[in-house]
Amino acid sequence: MNPMCGRCNLVVYPTEKVNCLDKYWHKGCFSCEVCKMTLNMKNYKGFEKRPYCNAHYPKTNFTAVADTPENLRLKQQSKIQSTVLYKEDFEKNKGRGFSVVTDTPEMQRLKKSQDQISNIKYHEEFEKRKMGGEAPHHHQSSNPSPVAYQASPATQNYNYEPAPEPVRPAAAAPPPSAGKRYTAVYDYSAADEDEVSFVEGDVIVDVQQIDEGWMYGRVERTGQQGMLPANYVEAI
């Protein structure tokens, strides 16, 4: 079946058929869309599947549309709307946190005046204290010195001195004689002042259990008494 012409929509026979731009054309119908000049496969230019001559080929100009009156009106309207939104947002956020108003010359002048007033008040207070504000200090010390002044932090820090954590129960007063006797199975050297030293075979008397690991007793050979490890002795 013969195809239809892309311009006149009539049947195109093989002897007069031109296949171009995804369409079929009569040789006479294959012409410029503007000036109707007959084209061929060497001098045509296609745009949106339509043939054009070199003089009337559409030029894509992206900025030409932006200069139309309608686009200029829309641009002006968008600018006005942006200004209105900026002013509304400025009124809503005025007074919240930092604002550009603080950088105005008027605000800078007020800030400078406040700083000057603050400096004047500070110097007035300093002069008052210098002239008569030190009198109450004489009741505390008739001859203040830097050493006495520096002693107060030390006094405060004394209350916060950390106490050493006990490694084992501290030795109390010698308990009354319980009559228990133990013999040393190992040598032991005292590691602290409240402990006793002994050698293998020594007899420990007046022994009293303090906890699972420590006892209190007296070495019969030396007469020393104190704490001793429970796993170094055995009952007689």
CATH number for the domain including 5? 2.10.110.10
In this prediction, residue 74 carries a pLDDT of: 81
Beta strands in 12-81 (DSSP E): 17-20, 23-26, 45-47, 50-52
Query: How is residue 36 annotated by DSSP?
Result: -
Q: What is the mean pLDDT of residues 95-99?
A: 55
Q: What is the mean pLDDT of residues 132-157?
A: 47
200: domain CATH number is 2.30.30.40
205 found inside a domain: yes
In this prediction, residue 116 carries a pLDDT of: 79
Q: What is the mean pLDDT of residues 79-105?
A: 70
- Mean residue pLDDT of the chain comes to 77
Query: How is residue 212 annotated by DSSP?
Result: S
In this prediction, residue 63 carries a pLDDT of: 56
pLDDT reading at 141 higher than 50: no
Q: What is the mean pLDDT of residues 166-194?
A: 72
In this prediction, residue 232 carries a pLDDT of: 94
Residue 114, SS3 per DSSP: helix
Pairwise CA distance, residues 166 & 58, whole Å = 98
Query: How is residue 33 annotated by DSSP?
Result: T
Q: What is the mean pLDDT of residues 93-119?
A: 71
- When divided into structural domains, the chain yields a total of 2
Q: Which residues are 19's β-sheet partners?
A: 24
Identify how many contiguous H helices and E strands the chain contains and give both numbers: 3, 9
In this prediction, residue 161 carries a pLDDT of: 56
Domain range enclosing 3: 1-59
Tens digits of per-residue pLDDT, 22-58? 899 999 899 999 998 989 988 999 998 899 998 899 8
Joined together, the tokens standing for residue 44 give: 């045509």
pLDDT reading at 142 higher than 50: no
CB atoms within 10 A of CB 26: 18
143 found inside a domain: no
Pairwise CA distance, residues 187 & 232, whole Å = 8
| End-of-domain residue from the set 22, 40, 59 | 59
In this prediction, residue 88 carries a pLDDT of: 79
Q: What is the mean pLDDT of residues 205-218?
A: 91
- Give me the half-sphere count of Cα atoms (radius 13 Å) on the Cβ side of residue 147: 1
221 found inside a domain: yes
**DSSP secondary structure letters along 64-76:** TGGGSHHHHHHHH
Residue ranges in the chain assigned as alpha helix (H) = 69-93, 105-132, 146-158
Pairwise CA distance, residues 136 & 151, whole Å = 20
In this prediction, residue 62 carries a pLDDT of: 55
Q: Which residues are 52's β-sheet partners?
A: 45
| End-of-domain residue from the set 18, 35, 59 | 59
Tens digits of per-residue pLDDT, 179-191? 689 999 999 999 8
pLDDT reading at 102 higher than 90: no
166 found inside a domain: no
